[in-house]
Chain A
Amino acid sequence: MVKPARVKTRPIPAWVKLDNAAKIYPSTASNSWMAIYRLSVTLDEEISRPMLRLALQATLKRIPLFSYRLKRGLFWFFMESQSGKVPKIQEDVVNPCVPINLRQNDHFMFRIRVHGGRIALELFHAMADGTGAMTFLLTLAAEYLRLRYGRRILPAPFILDCRDDPQPQDWEDSFPKYARMSARGRSEEPAYPLRGTREGKDFLHVTTGIIPTAQLALAAKRHDTTINTLLAAIILRALLNISAKDRSPRRAKRPIKLSMPVNLRKYYPSKTLRNFSSYINAPIYPQYGTYTLDDIITLVKHYAGYELTEQMLNARFSGNVRAEQSKLLRAAPLFLKSAVLKLVYLLQGERYFTTVLSNLGLIKLPEQMAQHVTRIDVIIGGGKHNPISCGCVSVNGKTFLTFTRTIIEPTLEQLVFTALVKEGVHVTIESNRRTES
């Protein structure tokens, strides 16, 4: 066994403010719901728990941000360093993304769970976005493989070298750095809400479609579009079918909106591991007529083309930054702010989209790592109000499209996966249902 990487430590801040996007999450969190998501990497062999703990120790030295704890201040929540502590490696469960009891979790805002060859990172969104979390997880996996096989994995996108010092750019709040004075309003038309029979309070259904990326790319090429736009269009068309059967005509008239997170690091030279993402809510209006898949693709493509510009994205997050910097809001005590943020989330959060498609895109792993990684999964925890979410990631020639739902009816994923099959794409389905032998 190889010793963990020797790490030179550099002073890290004793505490940091929550970043602009993170501020809403602690206020909306409760015992029954928390904005949580899960990324997992599966290796080709059973995970050694002691070795993973050593790898986690080294990873936390490189990325100490993840060991910070959440604390309540008089005016804001903030994160306080608790470096040196390493969380326990936990056994996996059938129902992922259960809210983290921070006190019982030694105040860590994430947990590492293991099942067979899978290392899963479940993370509170107040800590980081998908890019930050994926960097932490793949750095952990790379360090684990280094300890296991004694071969150093060279730094690559999403993979940091655990022998390097922590960098101040890791914990930078990039929102105020790049925000400008001009901002756009946050209010939008409320979206069509999905309804269904609520599953028991503890269970989250997970259904993963495993798809050959080449076939998906071919299908997208046939429609002269990208994989992400094709998936978005297929989901929107499935939602159109669901809303057409809705018994409430008032509800069925609402626009169907698919929320797609946007990684702002593609637009700014930020290397932060904290939240630095925005979103677009692509709408389709059912009352305006019927839509073919190609119609929806055209709408999504042009909507994304309009919204995914630096100016439009900047105007969106600048509004949030300006709101945070408002003197009135800053002077209000935390309990008042929390109540206001809860109200904002209720009125302007999930109400503005029907479901979410979070696509982390294609992950290119270094050769030494790719040979051991069989899959990567993204699981978006159940929404507070919206019952279905969707996460997607591609690695080693396969795309993993995972639906999570808090309702019993699997209508949306059935429509999506059967549509993909009709597009000539081979889909293998896996779920977390408990089946008796």
Chain B
Amino acid sequence: MSYCVHCGVQLAVSEKDCPLCGTVVQDPFCAWQKPEQMPYPETVEVKNTHIDRRYARQLMVMAMLVPIVIVMLIDLVDGRGFGWSLLVSGTLVLIYCWIVVPVLFKFSRPYAYILIDILSLSAYLLLIALITGGMGWYLGLVLPMLIWLSLVVIASVLAIRRLEMAPLYRAALVNLMAAVFLLGLELLINLHAVMGIRLNWSFFAAIPLGVIALMLALLERNTPLKEEIKKHLFI
């Protein structure tokens, strides 16, 4: 039976020193011995600490909805119906799709993220086209460009995922696909603007990209050179 001289409380047999003040309690006639059974076992339960994505998503939706409601109310009170507030709201939704979705949503394949990004961008540009009366440029130029962009990106991701390639070959492939995209982009612009299929600036952009791709592929094949570069870069 030990008492804390500081607090005046009796300590249970499981307590070596006072849990209230830390004072060491020494009974000269009976040294403290750990009892066979302590009031609590030794096992510590660990909390499951992964990020609560659902909560974070709800919070982001709320953070996005507040400014949307505010600007829409201001726009409505202004008396001219919904106008600029739709652009602000569209921008916020686009930011949500481009930033929140990749960070807080977990899809098993990356194509879902690409599709969401492309579709949200298409919808946002459609909104601008509808507000500004620019359906001509949207259907003739923007939509084909976005379709072309999504095809190139999906093809690149598909190739990288399906084909087992060395890292430098992957980088070469990305460069090649970027070159192909630029060629297609100029083709689409020319078809819309001058109704012709002449290619001009995209060649000058595609040629260096092609050369870089070739150099990367050659470097991947040249193991001594690769080692030499690694040594110099201290990787």
Contact = CB atoms under 8 A, between A and B. Distances in A.
A94 B42 contact: yes
Interface stretch (A173-181, A200-208, A290-298): A200-208
A26 B21 CA distance: 37
A414 B23 CA distance: 12
A30 interface: yes
Contacts of B33: 437
B40 A429 contact: no
Interface in A196-220: 201-203, 206-210
A182 to B, nearest CB: 32
A90 B43 CA distance: 12
B39 A417 contact: no
Given A116-B37, A410-B20, A427-B10, A95 B52 contact: no
Contacts of A104: 48
Interface in A411-430: 413-414, 417-418, 421-422, 426-430
A339 interface: yes
Interface string B3-29: 010011111101111111100000000
A93 B45 contact: yes
A435 B39 CA distance: 11
Given A339-B59, A417-B20, A427 B45 contact: no
A232 B16 CA distance: 29
A32 interface: yes
Contacts of A413: 20
Contact of A95 (B4, B17, B44): B44
A206 B40 CA distance: 10
Interface string B28-40: 0000011001111
Contacts of A94: 40-44
A433 B8 contact: no
A335 B61 contact: yes
B40 to A, nearest CB: 4
Contacts of A421: 7-9
Contact of B47 (A32, A338, A432): A32
B11 A432 contact: no
B41 A414 contact: no
B62 interface: yes
B34 A437 contact: yes
A210 B33 CA distance: 21
A429 B12 CA distance: 6
Contacts of A32: 47, 49
Interface of B: 4, 7-12, 14-21, 33-34, 37-50, 52, 55, 58-59, 61-62
30 contacts: A30-B55, A92-B40, A92-B41, A93-B43, A93-B45, A94-B40, A94-B44, A99-B48, A203-B44, A206-B40, A208-B39, A339-B59, A410-B20, A414-B20, A414-B21, A417-B9, A421-B7, A428-B9, A428-B10, A429-B7, A429-B12, A429-B18, A429-B19, A429-B20, A430-B12, A430-B39, A431-B39, A432-B40, A435-B17, A437-B34
Interface of A: 30-32, 91-96, 98-99, 101, 104, 115-116, 201-203, 206-210, 335-336, 338-339, 410, 413-414, 417-418, 421-422, 426-435, 437
